[in-house]
Amino acid sequence: MNGEAVTLQQLLESREQRAAYQQRLLAVYPGACLVSFMVNMPGEVKYCPLTRRLHQLGWEAVGSELAQAGADVLYREVRQLATGIEGYLCVGGEARAIKALMCGVEERHTLGRLFDIDVLTGEGRRLGRDEWGAPPRKCLLCDNDGAICARSRAHGTEELIAKIREMLERYELHG
Percent of the chain scoring above 90 in pLDDT? 82
Report the pLDDT averaged over residues 150-169.
Answer: 94
Task: Write down the pLDDT at residue 1.
Answer: 66
Q: Residue 153: CB partners within 8 Å, gap ≥ 6?
A: none
pLDDT tens sequence across 26-79: 999 999 999 999 999 999 999 999 999 999 999 999 999 999 999 999 999 999
For the chain, domain boundaries: 8-134
Class in CATH terms, 8-134: alpha beta
User: pLDDT category, 155, cuts 50, 70, 90?
Assistant: very high
Cβ neighbourhood burial of 81 (10 Å; 0-12, 13-18, 19+): middle
Report the pLDDT averaged over residues 95-110.
Answer: 94
Greater confidence (135 vs 51) lies with 51
Q: Residue 155: CB partners within 8 Å, gap ≥ 6?
A: 139, 140, 141, 142, 149
